[in-house]
Amino acid sequence: MEQKATRELLEKVARGAVSVEEAVLKLKEAPFEDLGFAKLDNHRALRQGMSEVIYGAGKTAQQIIDIVKKMQENSQDTILITRLSEEKAAIVKEVVDFTYYPMGNIGVVGTMPQADGLGTIVIATGGTSDMPVAEEAAITARVMGNQVERLYDVGVAGLERLLSNMDVVMNASVIIVLAGMEGALASVVGGLADCPIIAVPTSVGYGASFHGISALLSMLNSCASGVSVVNIDNGFGAAFQASRINHMREK
C-alpha cells in the first residue's frame, strides 16, 4: 500500500467512513507475495514512498507480465520496468498496456504522476553516447514525481555548451551528471552549481576507459565538493537518490 493510500485509509477511519476492523484487515495484508519465481514486496511503497521496480534484465517476458498483473491487483497505479529490451517489450506489450522508451530501455505502466518535488532535477551528459543511461534516469525521475530538464551533449571538449546553460544549472534542485571517458564533467558541474551533484560514470570510451572504470575513479576523486557517485551506468539509482533529495521536506 502506498503512503498516499494509507493516509486516505486513515482519514476514512477518522471520518467514520471505514471501521477500525476494516482498516486493520487492510493494513495486515501480507508484506510480500510469493509468486514462485519472485517475492513481490507489497509494503515497499509504504516504507519507502515508491513501490518495487521491475528489473527487466534476466527476467523472461512472461515473468514480467505476471509481476505487473500482481502489482496491478494490489492497486499499484504506476509501475516502472528498467533494463527492458525491445524484444521483451514487444512481447509484454501484447498483454500489458504500457509506454516503452527505447532510448532508455525502460517501460512505464500507467500514467506519469504530477511533479510534486521541491524543484527541478537537471540531467546533464558529456555526450550523445551517454543518452541511453541518461534517459533511464530521466524517466525514473519522472515516474517518481519530479520535474526534469535535460542538458545533453555539454561535455568538457566544448565547455561553452555548458556555460551557455548556466541559468539551468544554477536553478536546479539536484543535478545528475553522466559522462564516460575521463568523466571530467562531474567535477566541472560540481564547481559551478550550489546543489547536490550525483555523478554517473558511463561505459563509454576507448580501451583505457575500461568500460567506465576510468570515469568512475575520476568521479570518486572529484576535486569539487558536493559530488556523490553511483555505479557505472546506474541511471536508475542516480534518479532514485535525486528524487529523495528533491522531496526532502521539514519533518
pLDDT value, residue 1: 46
232 pLDDT higher than 60? yes
Say how far apart CA 77 and CA 145 lie, in whole Å. Answer: 13
Pairing of strands 174-179, 197-201: parallel
For residue 148, the cross-strand partners are: 121
117 pLDDT higher than 80? yes
**Where do the structural domains in the chain lie, given as residue ranges?**
1-30, 32-109, 120-246
Which residues, in sequence order, are CB contacts of 79 under 8 Å at separation 6+? 51, 54, 68, 71, 72, 98, 108, 109, 110
Is this prediction's pTM over 0.75? yes
Whether residue 135 contacts residue 103, with contact meaning beta carbons closer than 8 Å, is answered with: yes
Q: DSSP assignment, residue 27?
A: H
**In whole angstroms, how far apart are CA 131 and each of 138, 188, 230?**
10, 19, 17
**In whole angstroms, how far apart are CA 62 and each of 14, 32, 67, 221?**
42, 20, 9, 43
Say how far apart CA 19 and CA 143 lie, in whole Å. Answer: 33
Q: Quote the mean pLDDT of the chain.
A: 88
- Reply yes or no on domain 120-246 having CATH 3.40.50.1970: yes
